[in-house]
Structure 1
């Protein structure tokens, strides 16, 4: 038997999940956006973060072996773990804004107010900016996103839900204060 788990991601600081693209000389790193220019977190990113949290949680369990097999079944096996890469039974949806909030922002063409730009530069030992070290990054303002995880085996659902609390930061520059968040079960997409 499988279960669907709805999750809520509440950001307390600006965050950046990169798209791998830039805006030329203006911004070096853009966030991932949908067709309407709205930010979201890809399900693949969520899967990796949640898998790591669940693995950490399970590592303290006395049932590591049994749970390890259940993890592989749920999240899949990567190359190196097995001779062949296999898909897991769970599906991680993208984390998005609530539908009403999304519609209001897009309907009023207010997408640009979701973003900010931060810049950083390297400083040498004399306190002077190093040449060619200025970098800019697009970030999303703090917001609340929602996602669903379907196909979670019931035996792992409670552990997965409890593991969500172990994730405290998400995205790039987590060690610099970006992406502080709380993830917990509940909420509707």
Structure 2
């Protein structure tokens, strides 16, 4: 089994929305764990990667090449109605903040919770709310009435955003060992590389200025960035 790491750097404030808000606080809350750390679900990330790869494959002018890369994409991401014989070979983990940071803070939060259980009057020095608020902020926006240029009534909306410059990482696990000398596996990596580089926006409001990201693919065992290897980009480019 092979594994790679997809690293995501937020270039602008981003909302990894969870589909609801918090009454009296925000209309759109970010997805976060019980410690207050925001994250992007692996299924969502895989869908974004699949969408970018589909867009790239769709613009290949040569039909035979387009069919070839479509087949590669189906093997990589799977397709609707797939069975055990033709399911996706890649599984994407949640995109989270660096593990060492989360582990250190989670240990402190667990310690604070234990003290609180032992003594109900104990006031924790650090809570999951503190963590969430330190990594995010709240943005507000309103619609403009085109007739008078003033704010439209009852249009004020608030959304929590994850602060720019924060790094996230997701593990990409493959059902089998990829051989970088195999022509078939070279195609899989080539498509994944160009899809990773093409992924520039994610999260809610990604078409309205939020969610600008920079993504890179890494082989952690070799400590090397796969997206810097031009051979993969060139391999996909031959079909265009």
TM-score interval (norm. to shorter) = 0.7 to 0.9
TM-score computed with the length of structure 1 as normaliser: 0.86
Q: Which has the higher contact order (CA 8 A, sep 6+)?
A: 1
* 8 Å Cα contact 2:3/2:219 also seen in 1: no
Q: Which has the higher strand share?
A: 1
Q: Which aligned segments of 4 or more residues in structure 1 are displaced greater than 4 angstroms?
A: none
SS across alignment from 2:200: coil
Q: How far did 1:60 drift?
A: 4.2
CA RMSD of aligned residues (A): 2.1
Which structure has the larger Rg?
2
Deviations 1:119-147 (A, max 9, x none): 11111121221111110001111200011
CA distance in 1, matches of 2:159, 2:105: 22
Q: Which has the higher helix share?
A: 2
Deviations 1:53-111 (A, max 9, x none): 12223334442212212222221212xxxxx3554221011111111222345435441
Segments of 5+ residues of structure 1 without an aligned counterpart are: 79-83
Q: CA separation of 1:187/1:36 partners in 2, compared to 1, >3 Å: closer, same or farther? A: farther
Segments of 5+ residues of structure 2 without an aligned counterpart are: 109-125, 179-184, 221-240
Q: CA separation of 1:165/1:32 partners in 2, compared to 1, >3 Å: closer, same or farther? A: same
Q: CA separation of 1:40/1:98 partners in 2, compared to 1, >3 Å: closer, same or farther? A: same
Aligned length: 182
CA distance in 1, matches of 2:162, 2:219: 21
2:156 aligns with one of 134, 156, 171: 134
CA distance in 2, matches of 1:187, 1:145: 16
Deviations 1:134-171 (A, max 9, x none): 10001111200011111176231122112211111111
1:184 aligns with one of 203, 216, 219: 216
2:71 aligns with one of 69, 72, 79: 69
Question: In the alignment, which residue of structure 2 is the partner of 1:47?
Answer: 46
Question: In the alignment, which residue of structure 2 is the partner of 1:168?
Answer: 200
TM-score computed with the length of structure 2 as normaliser: 0.69
Question: In the alignment, which residue of structure 2 is the partner of 1:120?
Answer: 141
Q: Is the aligned partner of 1:159 residue 2:186?
A: no
SS across alignment from 1:48: helix
Q: CA separation of 1:60/1:129 partners in 2, compared to 1, >3 Å: closer, same or farther? A: closer
CA distance in 2, matches of 1:187, 1:98: 16
SS across alignment from 1:174: coil
* 8 Å Cα contact 2:73/2:191 also seen in 1: no
